[in-house]
Amino acid sequence: MKNYKHEGESLPFLSTQKPVVLTPSWDGRRFSNDEPNNKGMTITKATQFLKPPIDKWKIVFFIFIIHGLGTLTPWNMFITAKSYFVDYKLSTHNGTNTTHTVYASNFMQYISFASQIPNLIFNWLNVFVNLGGDLTKRIVYSILVEIVLFIITVVLAMLDTASWPGTFFYITMITVIILNMANGIYQNTIYGMVATLPIKYTGAVVLGSNISGLFATIMQICSSYMFSSLKTGAIYYFITAMLVLLVCFDTYFALPLNKFYRYYESLREKDANKKSNVSVGKIPYWTVFKLAGPQLFNIFFTFFVTLSVFPAIHSDIRLVNTDFFIPSELFTSITCFLTFNLFAMLGSLCTSWVKWPSSKYLVVPVVLRAVFLPLFVFCNYLPKGVVRVLPVFITNEWIYWFIAITMSFSSGYLSSLGMMYAPQTVPSKYQLTAGMFAAAMLITGIFTGVLFSFVFPVLVANLSF
């Protein structure tokens, strides 16, 4: 037997022996990208020879669906709660008579601007400026700010604001502005992150964003049926939004624990390191924009057409025939909000199996969607506070509903294809930037569509044949 040294003397085998590591992994070995291990292999070199791991149980795919849900939760929660704001908080009630205040007449346009202007600005800023630090800080801080602002919204729902509707209106607008400043950073960063993964994961974020609208609509309908009071329904409705954001916050920290995500993250870091060594880290933004330009236009124009009619025009189309099977009090909720969000989600989901047309010809159906602009105006569109002089050409609810379904499905399908194609048009090391450009163009399309929607009340009030 080997004799060991006495107490107090150094024991070589103890001083050099390393602790036992169970289930060793790349993260556990702490290898750097610069220093090779004892076999002369760095982690980034090793990933080139490893077979890409699979997304077991589609965990990463579903996490990005959840984040897609979170990116549009603020917008959808506020626009779907139109009745709460317009008919309850911003109206005066005398017995059975309800009088809308001046703040209620154009509430949808006001809240659209309060949402989309800061969202637009901070989406574009996030492409060029490192807002809030690294990716983790940007996402974490953004979600936390949104949760705090939804808490303020719930408190406002609890208070009796009947005597100060103007103050309530301005507090709500300020809340929405700050909420969407944070959301602009969050949304843009998520699309940049997912652009470095296989193409279907960008589709997962778009799918989640379309599910967000459906989710908000279902929650609004359920809260109106479960609670007789609009106040109580709104409280639980906005609490649900907070819960969604908390799930987004939690699942974000699950991503680095997943081998599939770590693999693609290491490839992204390798490309970033290679780029910094070669070109001092400068990104050729204009080159990336030109390469992705055709798909960026497709994204922009798809959302421009959609937001020109939804929700501003779509939600003000009224029932013509009282014998239609949907009652008047549910007509807008079902044919507008539920229909749009359900079929936009289904359209987005279809891109998981069908990707037609190709990126070269996607512009054709995107441009053809401009036909929806006059079609919705020809329906029984009756904006509040406006006397329509333009004749109503489409008086059949089934035809109107078919137009709504087609518009909604094509919006989800074509926007998903555009978002998926955009990062594939640039070299892999610039895919994150292309994904951020795509998110910024998405918001630009939404903003210009909302802006253009102001034309239609003037049009129907002054144009006649």
Q: Is residue 26 part of a domain?
A: no
pLDDT in tens, 219-241: 888 887 888 777 888 888 999 99
Query: Which residue's entry shows tokens 């918001």?
Result: 443
Ranges assigned E (strand) in 277-406:
none
Which of 26-35, 38-47, 59-68, 160-169 has the least mean pLDDT? 26-35
What would the mean pLDDT of 293-311 be, rounded to a whole number?
Answer: 94
Q: Is residue 306 part of a domain?
A: yes
Q: Is residue 449 part of a domain?
A: yes
pLDDT for 398: 94
Q: Which domain holds residue 441?
A: 58-462
pTM: 0.74
Is pLDDT at 415 greater than 70 in this prediction? yes
Compute the half-sphere exposure of residue 295: CA atoms within 13 Å on the CB side of its CA: 27
pLDDT for 167: 92
Select the more confidently predicted residue: 253 or 36. Answer: 253
Q: How confident is the model at residue 275 (pLDDT cuts 50, 70, 90)?
A: low
pLDDT for 279: 47
What is the chain's mean pLDDT, rounded? 82
Domain count, the chain: 1
Is pLDDT at 89 greater than 90 in this prediction? no
Q: Is residue 29 part of a domain?
A: no
Q: What is the CB neighbour count within 10 angstroms for residue 110?
A: 17
pLDDT for 271: 64
Is pLDDT at 299 greater than 80 in this prediction? yes
What would the mean pLDDT of 93-117 be, rounded to a whole number?
Answer: 75
Task: Please say whether the dihedral angle defined by the alpha carbons of residues 323, 327, 332 and 333, taken in this order, is positive or negative.
Answer: negative
Q: Is residue 10 part of a domain?
A: no
Contact, 121 vs 108, CB < 8 A? no
The DSSP call for residue 313 is T
Q: Is residue 49 part of a domain?
A: no
Is pLDDT at 29 greater than 90 in this prediction? no
Is pLDDT at 19 greater than 90 in this prediction? no
Q: Is residue 176 part of a domain?
A: yes
Q: What is the CATH number of the domain that holds 450?
A: 1.20.1250.20
How many residues are listed for the chain in this entry?
465
Is pLDDT at 343 greater than 80 in this prediction? yes
Q: Is residue 1 part of a domain?
A: no
The DSSP call for residue 17 is P
